[in-house]
Amino acid sequence: MRKGEAGRASTDAVLAFCWSARVLTATDAMEATGLTRSTVIDAIDELVEAGVLRELPNARAAGEYRSGRPARRFEVRTDFGIVVGLDAGNAHIAVTVADPFDRVLAHRRIEIGRSRSARAHRRIILDLLNETLASAGETRERILAVCAGVAAPVDRQGFSPPHPELFWERTNPDLIELLADWAPVVEVKNDAQLAAAAEGAEGAAIGCQDYVALLAGERFGSGVVVDGHLLHGAHGGVGEGVVFDHVVGVGSAFGLRYGIERQVRAALEAGEISPDGALAALASEEDIPPQAVLELASAGDADALLVAERVGSALATVIGVLGSTFDPDRVIVCGAIAEGIEPVLAAARRLLPERLHLPAPELIASTLGADVVSRGAIATAREAARTRTVPMRVRAGLQAGSAALA
């Protein structure tokens, strides 16, 4: 390996440690990386020059010095840039602006109509991106990485395959090209895969190597992690929900929101629920609010519990297919529908052992709410900033310095 490559690898190793340590001394970095003191000090100086690290007052000035020469202390700057997460759903758009570590600077979410052109979708996204940046007091020039989640399979280049009804083209109207000049790194991902990233980073899958994050509100879509790796596929289609159109006992890729409504109306038409009950009153509305049905079930309403049992049966079949295909240890129901979904999950847990021969996965509700995709997008953008953008900027600075000395 050439000397330049060795120096770059050393700087990358120190940078990786700095990102996790946040505050450090050269001795800390030496112990963590196994590099020599002179190599670590050179790398730290380069990171200071690149604006990634700043030197702190030494131990004497900080009031911690006792004897001997006080160590130089450094911290990773949190103000050298920002990251952006985008959740471009079928019925909503959400934008999050955050620092590269743990602070959200601004978040905006709007509901949108489902019938719209790809061009209109792009315009809505750009408008909300600009509005959210402005509310954070930030500019495009400071963006280190952008990650967008879409309700469509996405290949490794950020494009979605054609859909027979143009649905995927509308929800992902070539966002990789639309956002190409917004940041040094732009990624477009399937929304369920980002939900899986969020659950693994801060949710119910921390420390779990085999799990499925099931977006289950509008349509079924699964982010699948096996042996600690997020599965993708040739076209980004691992976990695509269209399979459930063809599964007996499910019959549709539409999610629990619609499953609850279908079961309420079917039970009312069949005379299985009281026409004067609370559930029948909800059915008089044009759109039955699923959370209201779940609240009735949680309160013990017999009619709502009947619906929860039937929706739970369909969900058990969904989990059975996922369990037989991917053998997860855990399945996490994600999205806004997860709030209050316990009556449905309780029914599914009872039925699940009948739906697969493998041990049944643990079935739990996410606690990350409607913003689970946004959280996954931010986590992915932060990872891209840490592993790609910042190292690129440090190397560019080193190359510029070398050229100046030549």
Residue-wise pLDDT for 67-113, tens only, equals 556 788 999 988 889 999 999 988 899 999 999 998 999 999 999 87
**3-class SS of residue 181:** coil
Last residue of a domain, one of 77, 98, 119: 77
The answer to the question of residue 20 being in a domain is: yes
For residue 402, is pLDDT > 50? no
For residue 235, is pLDDT > 60? yes
Last residue of a domain, one of 77, 97, 116: 77
- With beta carbons less than 8 A apart as the criterion, state whether 235 and 190 touch: no
Instruction: Verify that 55 and 140 share a domain, yes or no.
Output: no
Residue-wise pLDDT for 340-360, tens only, equals 999 999 999 999 999 999 999
Nearest CA among 133, 131, 144 for reference residue 381: 144
Domain containing 21 — which CATH number?
1.10.10.10
**Residue that is written with structure tokens 């059915």 in the block:** 283
The answer to the question of residue 395 being in a domain is: no
Instruction: Verify that 355 and 244 share a domain, yes or no.
Output: yes
The answer to the question of residue 399 being in a domain is: no
Instruction: Verify that 353 and 379 share a domain, yes or no.
Output: no
The answer to the question of residue 252 being in a domain is: yes
Instruction: Verify that 145 and 234 share a domain, yes or no.
Output: no
The pTM assigned to this predicted structure is 0.89
Last residue of a domain, one of 38, 59, 77: 77
Instruction: Verify that 288 and 350 share a domain, yes or no.
Output: yes
Instruction: Verify that 240 and 255 share a domain, yes or no.
Output: yes
Question: What is the token pair recorded at 266?
Answer: 């079917």
Instruction: Verify that 215 and 115 share a domain, yes or no.
Output: no
For residue 30, is pLDDT > 80? yes
Instruction: Verify that 164 and 72 share a domain, yes or no.
Output: no
The answer to the question of residue 405 being in a domain is: no
Instruction: Verify that 224 and 157 share a domain, yes or no.
Output: no
End-to-end CA distance of the chain: 22
For residue 54, is pLDDT > 60? yes
- With beta carbons less than 8 A apart as the criterion, state whether 100 and 89 touch: no
Instruction: State how many domains the chain has.
Output: 3
**3-class SS of residue 218:** coil
Instruction: Verify that 51 and 86 share a domain, yes or no.
Output: no
Q: What pLDDT score does 2 carry?
A: 37
Q: What pLDDT score does 58 carry?
A: 67
Q: What pLDDT score does 205 carry?
A: 97
The answer to the question of residue 394 being in a domain is: no
Instruction: Verify that 272 and 348 share a domain, yes or no.
Output: yes
Instruction: Give the pLDDT band of residue 61 (cuts 50, 70, 90).
Output: low
Instruction: Verify that 90 and 188 share a domain, yes or no.
Output: yes
For residue 193, is pLDDT > 80? yes
**Residue that is written with structure tokens 């050179």 in the block:** 42
Kindly list the strands in the beta sheet with 185-190, ordered across the sheet, starting from the edge strand earlier in the chain. Answer: 104-111, 92-98, 82-88, 143-150, 185-190
Domain that residue 251 falls in? 211-367
The answer to the question of residue 116 being in a domain is: yes
Q: What percent of the chain has pLDDT over 70?
A: 92
Domain containing 220 — which CATH number?
3.30.420.40
- With beta carbons less than 8 A apart as the criterion, state whether 99 and 105 touch: yes
Burial of residue 208 (CB within 10 Å: 0-12, 13-18, 19+) is: middle
- Mean of all residue pLDDT scores within the chain: 90
Residue-wise pLDDT for 140-185, tens only, equals 999 999 999 999 999 999 999 998 888 888 889 999 999 999 999 9
Q: What pLDDT score does 3 carry?
A: 44
Q: What pLDDT score does 8 carry?
A: 76
The answer to the question of residue 26 being in a domain is: yes
Q: What pLDDT score does 403 carry?
A: 43
